Structure 1
């Protein structure tokens, strides 16, 4: 792994805003990230099917609330307060530019605040980022910085290294259903009390 590809949070935030992708740690698995307006490159880099949405990761609740484009229901806020920062992705009804960038043609958006302090520092500088696991589509997810860099040579990594140790299991994905209840789309690293896979 080239040391010149390891980039501090302020410099990496500037590169992200300039349109570059980046590799970042999270509390679950390393992620490939870009700003929402430059998210299209993530599908290309991963060779990922266009119908598989990306997740919007933020440092705090407020920017994610704004990105949703809708008023937050009390149930959503309650789940966010229990599970964030942490290994839970909430898929919520949404509208506006973030949905068009991360889940084109759909009406929902996956949101997460990771329990990884160095990445939340970056997210405060860059704003919320479109993210996906750091692997070529169909291949096992990278679990280390070195494995992520090997998948995507030339893509800058958030420094410093080594990254904080990750859990190695993808986040749980919960979706808010039309019936007004949570549905487990993917059982992962964290399952909120009272929910079953």
Structure 2
């Protein structure tokens, strides 16, 4: 007995729900992503095989390049408190607009004496002012930045500040030795090095 042929119908899939989910995911990733911070000087980090994500707060990054040191403390609230501490130490008062500008900075790139001028400058002028934080024995301001950042982190989060060094792979040894000596002077013997992921 012959079979009855069922006429074929084209299948139509409603993609409205799928588009909604795709746009929701896209919006979520855009809103939660953190833009990459621009380094004050070109830094070619050495390669490593291990990968570990940096936390969002209670971490400080010391960027070293071209013989200069730069300092960054993660978290807007912690940065605001740090500016107050540095201001008290140096007898400098900062206005609310200067404090707000400091919370948006990627790095501290000038000595404390130039900080007010730096905060009131335009973005282009700031790029030209990247003289670095003094680390010599006469004016060791990096020591103060690290010390006060540790105090602020302990007061705000009740945690020890984690410190990472992001150094140029071609940086000379005495510069790195000076940075590590500043950390050891504060009994900070545990810190991490920021590297790029080595390809397989």
Query: TM-score w.r.t. structure 1 length?
Result: 0.28
Determine which structure has the larger strand proportion and give its number: 1
- TM-score of the superposition, structure 2-length normalised? 0.28
Rg larger for: 2
Point out the structure with the larger helix share: 2
